[in-house]
Amino acid sequence: MTLPLVGCGAIGEQGFDVIVIGAGISGLAAAATLAEEGARVVVLEASSRLGGRIRTDRAWGMPLELGAQWIHGPEGNIAAEPARKAGCDPSESADGGHWWRRHGVADPMLNDREWDRDCPYDRTPGMSLAVAKLLHETKIKAEEGYFPMMAAVHRSQEVYEYGAELDELDSEFYDFGEEVKGNDLVLRGGYDLLPRLYADRAKRAGAKVILESPVTAIRKGGRRLLVISNGQELSAPHVICTLPLGVLQSGKVEFDSGLIGAPAQQAIQALGMGLLDKVWLRWETPLPMEPGWHSSQDIGAHDPGAEFFFAPDLTGNQVALAFNAGKAARSLAGRSSVEKVAGVMKSLRVMFPNLPEPSDAMCTDWLSDPFTLGGYSYYKVGSTPENRWALAERQSSGLIFAGEHTDVDYPSTVHGALASGLRAAEIALK
Ligand SMILES: Cc1cc2nc3c(=O)[nH]c(=O)nc-3n(C[C@H](O)[C@H](O)[C@H](O)COP(=O)(O)OP(=O)(O)OC[C@H]3O[C@@H](n4cnc5c(N)ncnc54)[C@H](O)[C@@H]3O)c2cc1C
């Protein structure tokens, strides 16, 4: 059987030092780092493309991001510099304070964390954010300065940020991690140039990247680990596994018992896999709306497209991006694009009653993607940062996990995934 190789050479000889599972940003960053240090590396990727949850589509003649969209807070963000190197031409995002101003909030820079500081509800591990906020809101309802509209905005913001409902998020840890600073950047050339940069570096240093090669099992093999893919068995002393949390939770990839330690096993079940989906819409005629974020309190947070971003200035096209998150996204998973567009248009017409039908649409369905099975990880009620630490450490079997769900400082992001890949490579090199 001939496998589609992105790198050079054929996969016949068994002389690998490291097998990397998954060619998302974490796997490719690990592979590039290891190969440049002289390790013999092979990357096995299930799908027919690189990048995983960084996925750029150019069918409309411009880069449309189906997965990651922004480089969040570029100051100190380790993805910002490589993105520039990849020729991504990061430009400041147009969202700025527009969305907040529409809601009458005086300070356009007011963000979730500032709101938390202003309204410090009790954080309790194992208590859902929904309950913590309810208790807090009940307590302060009578107090001067209570801003119910702001509370409602904040409630829906979290669902979009974490891809989970407030009764699913842990009130203590839901936003645990380091803060990034600066306005978000968009990558005009397409986000996928970033994983391509790492893939090119890995290949130049001699790594093999093999597409359409789903791993079905990881087994013990004496002092080596065995990886089964497409009926072939590969072995190496180190395996870096970047399978998304949803895939790990599904049990679709078999691990020999003892390969994953008890704390990491527990972590896989304890953390949650959230969901964020996108509906891109395109019109041929100019639209009667301002560029930037739009949202309406007349639309429930669970309605499809309750938030959307109109980006003619970014793209030169009459294009809008609507988001479905949490429960709304889950209810639409597996449904047709026609249904998804109809749901979004219903919400958009609450804000813009005369909005014409779009001429084109492109919808994501990350929950139905068998190689992702969700959007990104979140702190489910009862989960803790120790869960991510348990996944970030080398397992006693030699297996090393990487991926956004294993990063304690910046989970659920591209820079967190990138950092986890670099960390995994360092562990393997020790
Ligand atoms: C809609 C959406 C919007 C987002 N927006 C942003 C954003 O604006 N900014 C930001 O920083 N982050 C954002 N993120 C999060 C970011 O995209 C992810 O955190 C990051 O890309 C994850 O990288 P990873 O390497 O951990 O996983 P992945 O990119 O998922 O890589 C894992 C790889 O493993 C492969 N795989 C799966 N199963 C197998 C198997 N059995 N065998 C072999 N390979 C397999 C997959 O195909 C995939 O290529 C967003 C995510 C989504 C879904």
pLDDT band per the 50, 70, 90 thresholds, residue 319: confident
Rounded CA separation 233/377 (Å): 30
pLDDT band per the 50, 70, 90 thresholds, residue 316: low
Q: Is 21 in the pocket of ligand 1 (CB under 6 A)?
A: yes
Residue 109 token pair: 């820079």
Query: For ligand 1, what atom is nearest to the CA of residue 253?
Result: 41
**pLDDT of 109 above 60:** no
Q: What is the mean pLDDT of residues 12-33?
A: 90
Query: For ligand 1, what atom is nearest to the CA of residue 70?
Result: 8
Query: For ligand 1, what atom is nearest to the CA of residue 366?
Result: 53
Which residue type, as a one-letter code, is found at position 141? K
Mean pLDDT for the chain overall: 82
Could you tell me the distance, in angstroms and rounded to a whole number, from the CA of residue 236 to the centre of ligand 1?
24
108, 299 contact by CB (below 8 A): no
The 10s digit of each residue's pLDDT in 35-66 is 999 999 999 999 999 999 999 999 988 888 99
| Residue 113 CB neighbours (<10 A) | 10
Residue 240's nearest CA partner among 54, 39, 12 is: 39
CA-nearest residue, atom 53 of ligand 1: 375
Q: What is the mean pLDDT of residues 248-256?
A: 98
326, 159 contact by CB (below 8 A): yes
**pLDDT of 101 above 80:** no
Question: How, if at all, do strands 70-71 and 185-187 pair?
Answer: antiparallel
The torsion angles phi and psi of 77, rounded to 5 degrees, stand at -85, 120
The 10s digit of each residue's pLDDT in 178-211 is 988 877 777 878 899 999 999 999 999 999 999 9
Comparing 171 with 388, the larger pLDDT belongs to: 388
Percent of the chain whose pLDDT exceeds 90: 56
Q: What pLDDT is recorded for position 381?
A: 96
* Pocket perturbation via mutation, ligand 1, pick of 276, 414, 423 by most ligand atoms within 8 A of CB: 414
Q: What pLDDT is recorded for position 349?
A: 82
Comparing 103 with 277, the larger pLDDT belongs to: 277
CA-nearest residue, atom 34 of ligand 1: 22
The residue to which tokens 């807090």 are assigned: 136
The 10s digit of each residue's pLDDT in 115-162 is 444 445 667 777 777 777 666 665 555 444 434 434 444 446 788 889
Q: What pLDDT is recorded for position 292?
A: 61
Q: What is the mean pLDDT of residues 244-265?
A: 97
Q: What is the mean pLDDT of residues 248-262?
A: 97
Q: Is 377 in the pocket of ligand 1 (CB under 6 A)?
A: no
Q: What pLDDT is recorded for position 302?
A: 59
Q: Is 197 in the pocket of ligand 1 (CB under 6 A)?
A: no
pLDDT band per the 50, 70, 90 thresholds, residue 309: low
pTM over 0.75: yes
**What is the Cα Rg of the chain in Å?**
22
State whether residue 269 is helix, strand or coil. helix
67, 54 contact by CB (below 8 A): yes
* Pocket perturbation via mutation, ligand 1, pick of 376, 378, 409 by most ligand atoms within 8 A of CB: 376
**pLDDT of 298 above 80:** no
The 10s digit of each residue's pLDDT in 354-374 is 888 999 999 999 999 999 999
Rounded CA separation 102/307 (Å): 12
Q: Is 195 in the pocket of ligand 1 (CB under 6 A)?
A: no
CA-nearest residue, atom 14 of ligand 1: 68
- Write the CA distances from 317 to 62, 94, 98, integer angstroms: 9, 15, 20
Any residues with CB less than 8 A from the CB of 364 and at least 6 apart, and which? 66, 67, 277, 278, 279
Comparing 284 with 114, the larger pLDDT belongs to: 284
**pLDDT of 87 above 80:** no
Domains of the chain from N-terminus onward: 18-53+190-270+385-429 (3.50.50.60), 98-162 (no CATH), 276-365 (3.90.660.10)
**pLDDT of 5 above 50:** no
Could you tell me the distance, in angstroms and rounded to a whole number, from the CA of residue 306 to the centre of ligand 1?
24
**pLDDT of 314 above 80:** no
